[in-house]
Amino acid sequence: MLRDLRRADGPEFLRVMERGFPEESAMLGNRPEEFEKIFRRVFRPDARLLLGILKVFRRPIVRLLVVEADRRVAATTIVTFPPKCAFVSNVVVDAPYRRRGYARAMLEEARRTAKKAGRRYIALDVLESNTPARALYESIGYRPLRAQLRLVNDSMARFSGAPPSPTGVRPFHRSDVPALVELVRRQAPASVEEVLPTRKARFVESGMVTRMLESEDASWVVDRGKGPEAYVGATVSAAMEAAYLAEPVVAESVEPALAESLVATASAWCATRRSPRILTMVNRDNARGRAALDATGFRDAQALWTLYRSVD
């Protein structure tokens, strides 16, 4: 039976996720007891009321789907709703229940949900090494949109001490958002902007999400008196050991050493929060952002593709 997640599904939902993505779970350092708290917050009456109201007005935030078989959670996926394109993540079918069409059923329900919510496209990420999953997605109409890399930095000793304050790097201000959105749009391929348009929320975290994840975040920009020329954000959450860096955005005008200082500032902030490692995602065509990450000790962990299709 395909249905929405229930409060009682929490422990099984998390176990299925852990078994389905063991490498990612190890890198993130998921803390099951903290995820349990998140589930309790999601299912609080006030949170459920807000999610319901947003759904009615075609502004849904998230839908958590499960397949129930033998009175247990056999498969899971998550659907989120950025503008124009719904995004599917964490498509997992537990090993004893594979080859029964459950993944295909969840993807079809995700497509119907996206269409009902007024989205034109639906997209997902898949590991480059996961040939069976990619074959399934392509068989139902998904096609490549962009190539990405997940990077990790576990050389945290280099960031010990107080975060640096290099000349030209300052904390992010909300007034920076319009210039940063324009910078990203100028650099992104038109095909990516068509499906996953850059929006202000990329730079300003939702207060609701921050509260639910018990996270803390900070961001910095390169600004030499003419407005922001580069950006990076950092997040730490009680739900996982690893910190996370937003993909660095670096204009052509920024020298490599200054871009490196920007990333080092964010990484040092993560180190002061006692994060044992930092993860990030970067598009493979983001040469300047990738160079700044390489210079501060990040290394390749996984290669991914973003695939997409029309909801029709």
Task: Assess whether pLDDT exceeds 80 at residue 37.
Answer: no
- Which residue ranges make up each domain of the chain? 2-119, 151-304
HSE of 208, CA atoms in CB hemisphere, 13 A: 11
Looking at every residue in the chain, the average pLDDT score rounds to: 89
Mention every residue, 6+ apart, whose C-beta is less than 8 A from residue 221: 169, 170, 171, 172, 173, 176, 180, 228, 229, 230, 231, 262
Domain 151-304 has CATH 3.40.630.30: yes
pLDDT of the residue at 55: 44
- Two structure tokens written together for 102: 């459950």
CATH top-level class of 2-119: alpha beta
- Closest C-alpha among 187, 171, 198 to residue 83: 198
Q: How far apart are the first and last CA of the chain?
A: 24
Residue 38 has pLDDT above 80, yes or no: no
**CATH topology match: 2-119 vs 151-304:** yes
Residue 39 predicted with pLDDT over 80: no
Interval 146-164: pLDDT, tens: 999 999 999 998 887 666 6
Which pLDDT does position 160 carry in this prediction?
A: 76
The predicted pLDDT at position 40 comes to: 67
pTM: 0.89
